[in-house]
A = this chain, B = another copy of it.
Amino acid sequence: MKKHDYHPEVFTDVFGSAASVLTISPGDHVMTSTVDAHGFDANMNRLMDSINALTGPFYIESAEPGDTLVVDIHSLTPNRNTGWTTSVVSHGVVDSAYVKNLPQKEYVEWDIDLEKETATPASGNSAVHSLQFPIRPMLGCIGVAPRDGQKISTWTSAEHGGNMDYFGVVKGTRMYFPVFVKGALLGLGDGHALQGHGELGGSGVETSLDVHFSVNVEKKSIHWPRGENDEYIFSIGNARPLMQSLQHAVTEMMRWLKDEYGLDENSASILISQVTEIDIGNVFDPAYTAVCKLPKSFLPR
């Protein structure tokens, strides 16, 4: 087990970029940082002129196509005291007849108070500018090189993860990704100090983060990203329409309960039907993200 301090100077805006920036081994820890969705770092220097620039990709020794990459997120901390959002909900999340009522989109600056762990809108003169929103730092983008030799932009997501914008990717979360290429090629970025369900405004409170993660490799195959935390196991589907992303997530949960918990389809169905919770990650990006969560307390030991 090694600890790597990696200070990113080059970034990529596709998952599947060939050149890795660092080779790490299963069990290794990495202390690094991410720029915000517009490429600005802790000092407000723009390090890349692109959307959702990724830190990475990291090449993980021994990860082979068909394996599962495990990523433990040990901490996510904003490394500056500002963030930004756009000001208006996306035209895609309201009735089409209502779109004309939406004002022009502007940018809103936010102050981030790391001691109080709050964020507050600081520009404009909106009625909500006195409010303190509790922060819950998350990674909008996390994933590996995609299937079939593709390079997929960091504005979307698929089986490899990507720009899922799921508010559940926080400190203390373990993520699982299907490995499609040798070395897996893990990338991460697009940090949000906080974000509502669905990313209905098209952005969280966008900021740069310090990140501490470690990796492992499991010799088993999964179809879609999975995760777990103290309370839940969860499976993620990324697709359009929204119902299809949910179908992927439910199907992956069904496989998980059968393959790893030994439940038959009827038993798995009872859990999925009666105690599952559904999170909607985003309905803004080209692929929407739905999450099927099962409380660990109902799982067989």
Interface set of A (CB-CB < 8 Å, partner B): 13-14, 16, 85-103, 106, 108, 121, 124, 126-128, 131, 133, 147-153, 155, 194-205, 239-244, 246-248, 250-251, 254, 262-267, 269-280, 283, 288, 298, 300
Contact = CB atoms under 8 A, between A and B. Distances in A.
A152 B150 contact: yes
A269 B88 contact: yes
A201 B200 CA distance: 28
A128 B263 contact: yes
Contacts of A99: 91, 96, 99-100
A243 B247 CA distance: 14
Contact of A196 (B150, B246, B272): B272
A82 to B, nearest CB: 15
Contacts of A273: 85-86, 89, 195-196, 199-203
Given A101-B265, A241-B241, A200 B272 contact: yes
A150 B283 contact: no
A92 B98 CA distance: 11
Contacts of A96: 90-92, 96, 99, 247
